[in-house]
Amino acid sequence: MNKKIILAISGSMRKPSFTEKMLDLCIEGMGENVEVRKFYPHKMNIGPCTSCWSCWGKKTPGVCVQKDDFQEILEAYKQADYFLLAAPLYIFSFPATVKNVIDRFFITLEPAQVKSARGGTEHPKRFDRHPKTVLISSCGFPEIENFDLLRPYFRKICDEMGWTWSGEILISAAGIAGAPKLFDRKYELIKKAGAELREGSISKETTDEIAAPAMSAEDYRKMATASFSGGIIDKIKTISIAMKAMREAEKKS
Ligand SMILES: Cc1cc2nc3c(=O)[nH]c(=O)nc-3n(C[C@H](O)[C@H](O)[C@H](O)COP(=O)(O)O)c2cc1C
């Protein structure tokens, strides 16, 4: 059986990146017989689209004048069966380096404007590739609603670019990811999501379970605020809130 190719974008500059951990767990869950091509946009030389329209011109259709590292991502995309886009939430959207990569996918569209099956207008796609695409993201506020702009935005991008939207793996309150045990169940569920993706797409049940709060928003706010203050009392406060949440998590499991 041919290996399935996964194009993975890891868009956080933080080390270690929690969002990348989510990405890696999903890939692990996807099992054997996959080839992963992972890219870190911020480590690559990728210029912004300059809107020169050369890739839409008659002379060099589908060819970008910028000879930079986006070419590597494009080559992987042309073969990809899956496209995992992992990026932390930055001001309710994608980090600029990731958005920059998305813009460069403009080259995969043709200039004609045609009626879309969804209503409205779209561009025909230049390549006959429609990788199953998944959004993986984490954020620092406690409510999952912080993804309310990113989620439909990502779906719209998938629709317009011809990527087959196949699910989302979203975690809020990622500031407590370092507390022992709190996210253990989520990690198992992310692997399950990867397995489901391999079978077709990520189920709503798994998505919702991953997104379920690990502690109350009120406790999380207190903990997140205290963790940035640095004092010993606040450190104790942080630990005691985390322990309370862990006890509650244990009771539930
Ligand atoms: C520039 C910047 C903007 C951010 N914007 C948001 C935001 O709009 N909403 C939110 O809940 N968290 C926001 N965060 C927090 C990150 O999304 C959060 O810490 C995330 O889990 C980091 O993931 P990583 O470890 O993969 O980098 C922001 C962080 C940074 C550095």
246 and 129 housed in the same domain: no
> How far is residue 230's CA from residue 219's CA, in Å, rounded to a whole number?
18
Which CATH number covers residue 129? 3.40.50.360
Q: Average pLDDT, stretch 134-158?
A: 98
In this structure, are 124 and 92 located in the same domain? yes
Domain span at 106:
4-214
Pair (26, 55) in one structural domain:
yes
Report the mean per-residue pLDDT for the chain: 94
Confidence of residue 71 (pLDDT cuts 50, 70, 90): very high
Q: Could you give the 3-state DSSP secondary structure of residue 83?
A: strand
- Asked if residue 184 and residue 174 are part of one domain, the reply reads yes
The pLDDT of residue 41 is 98
Number of domains observed in the structure of the chain: 2
Q: Residue 4 corresponds to which tokens in the numbers above?
A: 């399935």
pTM of the entire structure?
A: 0.96
- For residues 133 and 191, membership in a common domain is answered with yes
DSSP string spanning 123-146? PPBSSS---EEEEEEE-SSS-GGG
- For residue 142, pLDDT over 90 is answered with yes
- Percent residues over pLDDT 90 in the chain: 82
Question: Backbone phi, then psi, for 168, in 5-degree steps?
Answer: -145, 145
- At residue 198, the pLDDT reads 97
Q: Is the CB of 183 under 6 A from ligand 1?
A: no
Asked whether the predicted pLDDT for residue 232 surpasses 90, the reply is no
pLDDT at residue 233, as a whole number: 81
Ligand 1 atom nearest 86 alpha carbon: 26
**Identity of the residue numbered 64:** C
Does residue 81 share a domain with residue 165? Answer: yes
Please compute the mean of the pLDDT values over residues 101-111 and round it to a whole number: 97
Give yes or no for residue 194 having a pLDDT over 90: yes
Q: Is 115 in the pocket of ligand 1 (CB under 6 A)?
A: no
Q: Is the CB of 131 inside a 6 Å radius of any atom of ligand 1?
A: no
- Are the beta carbons of 26 and 134 closer than 8 angstroms? yes
Considering the domain architecture, whether residues 141 and 243 belong to the same structural domain is answered as no
Which residue among 9, 15, 20, 91 has the greatest number of ligand 1 atoms within 8 angstroms of its CB, and so is best to mutate? 91
Q: Are residue 134 and residue 249 in the same domain, yes or no?
A: no
One domain for residues 239 and 151: no
